[in-house]
Amino acid sequence: MRSSSVILCATGAALAAAGLLLPASPVAARFSSFDPQANEVLNRMTLDEKIGQMTQADHNGLADPADVEKYFLGSVLNGGDSDPKSGNTLADWTAMYLGYQSHALKTRLAIPLLYGVDAVHGHNNVLGAVIFPHNIGLGCTRNPELVERAERAVAEEVRAGGINWVFAPCVTAPQDERWGRTYEGFGESPDVVKSMAAAAVRGFQADDLRNPFSVLACAKHFIGDGGTTWGTGSPIDQGDTRVDEASLRRIHMQGYITAIEAGVGSIMPSYNSWNGQKCSGSHRLLTEILKGELGFEGFLISNWAAIDQLPGDYSSQVAQSINAGMDMAMVPERHARFIAALKAVVADGRVSVARIDDAVRRILRVKFAMGLMAAGWTPQIDPRAKASFGSAEHRAVARECVRQSLVLLKNSRKTLPLAKQIGRIHVAGKSADNLGNQCGGWTIDWQGRSGNVTTGTTILAAMRSAVSKSTRVAFSRDGSGAAGADAGVVVVGETPYAEGKGDRADLALTQEDVDAINRMKSAGIPVVLVVVSGRPVILGDALEKADAVVAAWLPGTEGAGVADVLFGDYKPTGKLSISWPRAMAQIPSHPGDAKYDPLFPYGYGLTY
Ligand code: GLC
């Protein structure tokens, strides 16, 4: 039996059993049903209070947390490198969150904060959280039900510390794997993106946003972030997506359509441009298409200081973005500057009060849908959410995600699965015993870090606990000492990166990786190559040297899911969600292209 069918989110199941899950309601999808209540609050607000609601400061940028009161801030975030100053445990995060909410509750109207984090593969900045595979691996599972369960678990871990908003899911459809954010997308095809986008939103927000185990989701980055062009003067990250509107809709819009259908409450406009115009300043994209045609009733949050990238001086940038339809500004370091600029452009008529009211109404109706506006609201953390943080139940869900995400690319002479009862297995490679490499970027730090970064199981440790007592699992990073072993496993690939720092013109294996493979090969033993990476790498002649090849993507903390596949406790089901090229010259290349001839096509994946 596939264990996926028997793993349930502990707290979700407990809640349902106790009859505590609020009845499924259409509120998530119909935020406008809260307009009467939102208007009532809006009518009592001063312009300063309204503009405060539209402002999101970053924890690191808030020298004085009392600025939440002074400026009536509607939201605070922790960016990728913005951890609590006291430390990085769940207790530190909880105290920080509660501190900010207490300031919000001291304002005249006592409107609680939306508090946002990038929980893009788990509550990933917090020590001890379960780290799930990055989306590229989840896309290879082709299993939206599993992705929904994974994000349900992530939502519970986030709410374990009180935080109520995640900047996820990323519903990009990466078209060129030289882009450093490729792994944040579920895959190159809009089909896989659209089914996973809806599943992820359902997982995060659950049936009802008032549920103490739900978080507000944010589909990002609207639109075309994965379609930017390499090598045409602008960088690929935050660059220019040069496609006609039909292609933009067909490739890059699908995830938003399903996320909106699933009731997503917020969307983040992207840094990139579409045919030369920045998305953060495009009335056509944000207001006409997203809010008008697609009927999006939630609110738009800008990307990190993205408004500063629009043309003109700061007040023109602010006016252009707000008039385009931006409802809340992520102004991490300079909230006071944004507030002053927005006030000035309202005063001189460049932004109408009607637009301000529309933005604030959108934010307030989401706060109503989340239950934040209930009389006497105080931040409550459900003890069951707290108990679920880093729990065995959540690790089991993540392990299931890992097993289903692995793609078997080659398996000559039935090299895999490996026997558990065998004399000696020699393991090598820089990522065999490296939790940080397994997790990738957006883990503890924005860029991620190699090494022992958090609680989890490395692939080597998982293999050691999987084998029978009589089997020895030896390890040398460089592959030396493999002679005489019964089988070899080399785990190589990419080291952590995030966003533009991961943009690469060359995706070949490093010399260190090639050397490790060669040493194993020259020992004359069957060699299994496990590639830990955020995107396809150029395998070159490593493909011939290895008897079996497994793409493990960035599996996260649960290395046991990799061992499950290597030893045949789980027969591989993963299918490539992105084409695997032979050489850099083939990138970009997609199914349907005239010269489509990758090493392994989209959808490829073997089993035992
Ligand atoms: C970033 C990212 C975005 C993220 C935001 C907040 O730089 O581009 O994905 O949600 O800022 O950290």
Exposure string for 244-267, b = 16+ CB within 10 A, e = fewer? eeeebbebbbbbbbbbbebbbbbb
- Is the minimum distance from the CB of 213 to ligand 1 under 6 angstroms? no
Rounded CA-CA distance 563/443 in Å is 22
Rounded CA-CA distance 537/552 in Å is 12
Separation of 178 CA from ligand 1 center, angstroms? 19
Rounded CA-CA distance 407/600 in Å is 11
pLDDT in tens, 263-311: 999 999 999 999 999 999 999 999 999 999 999 999 999 999 999 999 9
- Is the minimum distance from the CB of 332 to ligand 1 under 6 angstroms? no
Q: Does some domain include residue 363?
A: no
pLDDT in tens, 535-580: 999 999 999 999 999 999 999 999 999 999 999 999 999 999 999 9
Tokens 């730090």 belong to: 445
- Is the minimum distance from the CB of 167 to ligand 1 under 6 angstroms? yes
**Is residue 225 within 8 Å of 172, Cβ to Cβ?**
yes
**Residue 164 burial (CB count, 10 A):** 25
pLDDT in tens, 486-536: 999 999 999 999 999 999 999 999 999 999 999 999 999 999 999 999 999
- Is the minimum distance from the CB of 80 to ligand 1 under 6 angstroms? yes
- Is the minimum distance from the CB of 100 to ligand 1 under 6 angstroms? no
**Is residue 477 within 8 Å of 428, Cβ to Cβ?**
yes
pLDDT in tens, 43-66: 999 999 999 999 999 999 999 999
* Residues recorded for the chain: 608
Rounded CA-CA distance 189/197 in Å is 12
- Answer whether residue 23 shows pLDDT above 90: no
- Is the minimum distance from the CB of 220 to ligand 1 under 6 angstroms? yes
Rounded CA-CA distance 555/105 in Å is 40
Separation of 61 CA from ligand 1 center, angstroms? 15
Beta-carbon contacts of 480 under 8 Å, excluding residues fewer than 6 positions away, are: 519
Pocket test for ligand 1, best of 75, 215, 228, 304 (most atoms within 8 A of CB): 304
Q: What is the pLDDT of residue 79?
A: 96
Distances (CA, A) of 230 to 243, 279, 588, 598: 13, 18, 9, 19
pLDDT in tens, 309-345: 999 999 999 999 999 999 999 999 899 999 999 999 9
Kind of pairing, strands 114-117 and 165-166? parallel
* Residue with CA nearest ligand 1 atom 3: 303
Q: What is the pLDDT of residue 26?
A: 41
Q: What is the pLDDT of residue 42?
A: 98
Rounded CA-CA distance 504/117 in Å is 27
Separation of 168 CA from ligand 1 center, angstroms? 10
**Ligand 1 atom with minimal separation from the 218 CA:** 10
Distances (CA, A) of 256 to 173, 223, 234, 424, 561: 11, 9, 25, 50, 30
Nearest by Cα to 435 from 418, 416, 450 = 450
- Measured in whole angstroms, the distance separating CA 506 from the mean position of its chain's CA atoms is 24
Rounded CA-CA distance 599/590 in Å is 12
Nearest by Cα to 550 from 425, 445, 448, 432 = 432
Q: Does some domain include residue 235?
A: no
Distances (CA, A) of 304 to 234, 268, 282, 526: 19, 10, 17, 48
- Answer whether residue 28 shows pLDDT above 70: no
Q: Average pLDDT for residues 78-99, to the nearest whole number? A: 97
Distances (CA, A) of 43 to 48, 357, 359: 13, 9, 14
Rounded CA-CA distance 495/437 in Å is 5
Q: What is the 3-state secondary structure (H, E, C) of 116-144?
A: EECCCCCCCCCCCCCCCCCHHHHHHHCCH
- Answer whether residue 17 shows pLDDT above 80: no
Distances (CA, A) of 212 to 23, 78, 150: 13, 21, 17
* Residue with CA nearest ligand 1 atom 6: 79
- Answer whether residue 132 shows pLDDT above 70: yes
Q: Average pLDDT for residues 126-130, to the nearest whole number? A: 98
Q: Does some domain include residue 68?
A: no
Rounded CA-CA distance 413/395 in Å is 33
- Answer whether residue 140 shows pLDDT above 90: yes
Separation of 499 CA from ligand 1 center, angstroms? 9
Nearest by Cα to 607 from 459, 410, 462 = 410
Q: What is the pLDDT of residue 12?
A: 40
Query: What would you report as the CA-atom Rg of the chain, rounded to the nearest whole angstrom?
Result: 24
Rounded CA-CA distance 437/453 in Å is 9
**Residue 231 burial (CB count, 10 A):** 11
Nearest by Cα to 181 from 553, 506, 501, 537 = 501
What's the structural domain count of the chain?
Answer: 1
Q: What is the pLDDT of residue 14?
A: 40
Q: Give the model's confidence band at 13: pLDDT under 50 very low, under 70 low, under 90 confident, else very high.
A: very low
Rounded CA-CA distance 566/585 in Å is 32
Q: Which two tokens stand for residue 302?
A: 């800008």
- Is the minimum distance from the CB of 269 to ligand 1 under 6 angstroms? no
Side-chain half-sphere exposure of 584, counting CA atoms within 13 A = 9
Amino acid of residue 538 = I
Angle between helices 335-347 and 314-324 (to 10 degrees): 80
Whether the bond into 223 is cis, omega within 30 of 0:
yes
- Answer whether residue 2 shows pLDDT above 50: no
- Answer whether residue 233 shows pLDDT above 90: no
Q: Average pLDDT for residues 36-43, to the nearest whole number? A: 98
Q: What is the pLDDT of residue 93?
A: 98
Q: Which domain holds residue 420?
A: 392-586
pLDDT in tens, 248-266: 999 999 999 999 999 999 9
Q: Does some domain include residue 593?
A: no
Write down the H helix ranges in 67-214.
67-70, 90-105, 135-141, 144-159, 190-205
- Answer whether residue 106 shows pLDDT above 60: yes
Separation of 79 CA from ligand 1 center, angstroms? 7
Rounded CA-CA distance 137/182 in Å is 11
Q: What are the residues facing 164 on neighbouring strands? A: none
Rounded CA-CA distance 512/478 in Å is 8
CATH code, 569: 3.40.50.1700
Q: What is the pLDDT of residue 480?
A: 98
Write down the H helix ranges in 303-453.
314-324, 335-347, 353-369, 383-388, 392-405, 435-439
Q: Does some domain include residue 108?
A: no
- Is the minimum distance from the CB of 148 to ligand 1 under 6 angstroms? no
Exposure string for 66-91, b = 16+ CB within 10 A, e = fewer? ebbbebbbbbbbbbbebbbeeeeebe
Q: What are the residues facing 301 on neighbouring strands? A: 328
Q: Does some domain include residue 339?
A: no
- Answer whether residue 432 shows pLDDT above 90: yes
Q: Does some domain include residue 42?
A: no
pTM of the model: 0.95
Q: Does some domain include residue 501?
A: yes
> What 8-state DSSP symbol labels residue 600?
B
Average pLDDT value over all residues in the chain: 95
Q: Please give the backbone phi and psi of residue 124, each rounded to the nearest 5 degrees, phi first.
A: -70, -10
**Is residue 401 within 8 Å of 141, Cβ to Cβ?**
yes
Q: What is the pLDDT of residue 235?
A: 80
